[in-house]
Structure 1
Amino acid sequence: MKTVFSPLHAGHAGNVELIAGAIVPAFEKPSRAEFIKARVESEKLGPILPPESHDLAAAKKVHASDYIDFLPSVWPFWEESGRTGSAIPFTWPTRGLRGDVRPRTIDALLGFYSFDGGATFVKGTWDAIKSSYDVALTAAALVKGGEPSAFALCRPPGHHAGAAFMGGYCFINNAAVAAQWFCDQGARRVSILDVDYHHGNGTQEIFYRRGDVQVLNLHADPMTEYPFFLGHADERGEGGGEGFNLNYPMPFGTGWDKWNASLEDACARLSAYAPDVVVVSLGVDTFEKDPISQFKLKSADYPRIGRRIARLALPTLFVMEGGYAVEEIGVNAVGVLTGFEDR
């Protein structure tokens, strides 16, 4: 399996996030990607390729143009305002406040285009965002070109980013961009299988009214876990998307048996949908030692996930999302991929 990776991700480093009442160093850090890359190499998964550069037209197919145009302007605007450190949002337009008027200051714009304090910027953030997007599209092109599978080692991740908002470490929704790109290249149907611990709220929002992209999310119950406000089982799509959005919320403490039952049901529904290609939002923060998650999967479980996805017998693009137990993230993420290849 070919992996696409960019060293430019490392510029998104040293930033902070607002979580649990404190401003702390971000859990989403460069070592995550480096551990995965090292494991790809040690397992001899296959060649590691640099991404090709793409314009932002594909991003604007799933995101609002003004939102995408805002992202590269954040750090220059922050510096012009006399700021240092991390650019972090702290004010949000919520119910009862005007959320339809685009403000003018950097602090207001950061809140206008986000839903939490987890998507923060430093000087190298935009280059990392753009390289992650390039990685996803380059890997998608490998699959479109005939590779049975490919791994987009994206950082930062993307599945919390919606049509016009960032959050949860995510800026451009790489999996959504890839799914849309496959549609634009002639795919009649695409399935996105999100196995991250946290619900892919951005992906759901982007495709909620569409029937050509099926979205299946296995995740922690939003009644008790981030991102809290989407991910319930009764959210099944609207209009032309009715029935094509499927959520599998699970309680804290979920282990392999319960989680795997959800995976089996999701895979059965995916097979019935009969897509031309599968995009896997590959999060491994379901791991028992993950510092910000509450599931109990073990390292030995991840190759099982890969083997089950392989049984779908469909062209498959893996797009890296979450996972924060850094010492094990490489073992677990690459375990899915080697399981997929039945090693």
Structure 2
Amino acid sequence: MRAFFHPDQHLHDPKQFMRVGRIADPTDLPSRTEALMAALTRVGIAPQVPEDYGTAPALAIHKPHYLDFLATAYERWVKLPNAGPEVLPNVSPYWNGSPDRDGRPPCRSSHVVAEAGYYLGDLAVPLGPQTWRSALSSTHTATAAADAVLAGERLAYALCRPSGHHCRTDRASGFCYLNNSAIAAQRLRSRFAKVAVLDVDAHHGDGTQEIFYRRADVLTVSVHADPQIYYPFYIGYADERGSGEGEGFNLNLPLSAGSGDEPFHAAVARGLEAVAAFGAEALVVALGYDSHREDPLSVLSVTTDGFAGVGRLIGAAGLPTVVVQEGGYQVSVIGDCLERFLTGLAG
């Protein structure tokens, strides 16, 4: 297995995070990648630095005006009188988030405060001085892993940070600025006629769902905590099946609060059955550890060993697979979770 990581991904260092009405300490810290790098060392994998792909892979998924905002917002923000240390919205437009609606036009106002409200979907995506650089580097990591599989590797791991699965074509949210899993899936489509994305993060992959919701060539499957009680709340329900040509090619498998290893594994197995029925030729796994019972954001109760079971199930599918890192915020356990997952994946 080959793995990829760019050191610039460490640079994103958020200072604030709004949670239930309070400014909380951020959970997406650079120390997350250090723990995951240590786990790779323990299993004998030395990550490679990806090449610089520029913005082309991101533009295959995201709107140009959205990338322009990410690239320029911080410099414009700090020029405002009394600006805070990071770009965060204080106004938001009303927009129906249903994935079967047409995409949004560019923001009508070019003021950075207006654009912050338009392109940042919540208060968990602060833009700091290095956020754009880190997020773009994260897309390079995902692209390099996809290219490794395109070149014949059966398994490749993209240690992405910031994460990506909540990011839509033109909206950041939930610690996610560019959708690495979607970028990897789109890259794989250059060779494979059918690609599946299996998201096993505790949070529904709403951005990935929106991106592929009208397409029949990419199946999206998400195993996650029930959105009735858990972020992202407004999307991720079992009746969301795709739209137009994509109808029937989205599968959501919500889990009730407190679900542990057994229901988690059963849902992953069901998702893999859908992947097989779809006839996927390659697989992207959006891997998060925030379903772990010790995660500070978790409402699920998956154990560390539970991730070995997930890895075994995915490995048994036998598909060329890109594993893209998503969430998981308890630094003391995420390295062990990755180690168990990779051991299970390799059989």
Matched, 1:195 2:200: yes
Residue 311 (structure 2) aligns with: 306
Is the Cα contact below 8 Å between 2:3 and 2:47 reproduced in 1? yes
Is the Cα contact below 8 Å between 1:35 and 1:326 reproduced in 2? yes
User: Structure 1: which 5+ runs fail to align?
Assistant: none
CA distance in 2 between partners of 1:101 and 1:340 (Å): 43
Matched, 1:30 2:35: no
Residue 296 (structure 1) aligns with: 301
Amino acid across the alignment from 1:219: H
Is the Cα contact below 8 Å between 1:201 and 1:231 reproduced in 2? yes
Structure 1 pair 164–5 and aligned structure 2 pair: CA distance change class (3 A) = same
Residue 144 (structure 1) aligns with: 150
Shift of 1:186: 2.5
Shift of 1:84: 4.4
Amino acid across the alignment from 2:232: P
Q: Secondary structure of the residue that 1:336 maps to in structure 2? A: helix
CA distance in 1 between partners of 2:29 and 2:203 (Å): 17
Q: Secondary structure of the residue that 1:332 maps to in structure 2? A: helix
Residue 170 (structure 2) aligns with: 164
Is the Cα contact below 8 Å between 2:78 and 2:85 reproduced in 1? no
Amino acid across the alignment from 2:296: P
Residue 54 (structure 2) aligns with: 55
Amino acid across the alignment from 1:74: A
Residue 345 (structure 2) aligns with: 340
Residue 115 (structure 1) aligns with: 121
Structure 1 pair 136–100 and aligned structure 2 pair: CA distance change class (3 A) = closer
Shift of 1:101: 4.5
CA distance in 2 between partners of 1:132 and 1:212 (Å): 24
Residue 90 (structure 1) aligns with: 90
- Percent identity between the aligned chains? 37
Shift of 1:129: 0.6
Q: Secondary structure of the residue that 1:137 maps to in structure 2? A: helix
User: How do 1:244-283 and structure 2 match up within 5 A?
Assistant: 244-283=249-288
- For these two proteins, the number of residue pairs brought into alignment is 339
Point out the more displaced range, 66-75 or 160-169: 66-75
CA distance in 1 between partners of 2:50 and 2:16 (Å): 27
Residue 74 (structure 1) aligns with: 73
Structure 1 pair 9–100 and aligned structure 2 pair: CA distance change class (3 A) = closer
Residues 290-338 of structure 1 deviation map (CA, whole Å, 9 limit, x = unaligned): 1011111101111111111011101000000000111101110232112
Shift of 1:59: 1.2
Shift of 1:102: 2.3
Is the Cα contact below 8 Å between 2:88 and 2:120 reproduced in 1? no
Residues 118-172 of structure 1 deviation map (CA, whole Å, 9 limit, x = unaligned): 1111111111111101100011111111111010000000000001100000010
Matched, 1:4 2:9: no
CA distance in 1 between partners of 2:263 and 2:106 (Å): 42
CA distance in 1 between partners of 2:46 and 2:152 (Å): 16
Structure 1 pair 99–24 and aligned structure 2 pair: CA distance change class (3 A) = farther
Q: Secondary structure of the residue that 1:127 maps to in structure 2? A: helix
Structure 1 pair 89–39 and aligned structure 2 pair: CA distance change class (3 A) = same
Matched, 1:40 2:40: yes
Is the Cα contact below 8 Å between 1:40 and 1:334 reproduced in 2? yes
Structure 1 pair 180–319 and aligned structure 2 pair: CA distance change class (3 A) = same
Is the Cα contact below 8 Å between 2:107 and 2:115 reproduced in 1? no
CA distance in 1 between partners of 2:201 and 2:293 (Å): 13
CA distance in 1 between partners of 2:338 and 2:108 (Å): 39
TM score, norm. by length of structure 2: 0.95
Is the Cα contact below 8 Å between 1:93 and 1:99 reproduced in 2? no
Structure 1 pair 100–154 and aligned structure 2 pair: CA distance change class (3 A) = closer
Q: Post-superposition, which runs of at least 4 consecutive aligned residues in structure 1 deviate over 4 A? A: 98-101
CA distance in 2 between partners of 1:190 and 1:38 (Å): 30
Amino acid across the alignment from 1:80: K
CA distance in 1 between partners of 2:7 and 2:48 (Å): 11
Q: Secondary structure of the residue that 2:305 maps to in structure 1? A: helix
Matched, 1:243 2:242: no
Q: Secondary structure of the residue that 1:317 maps to in structure 2? A: strand
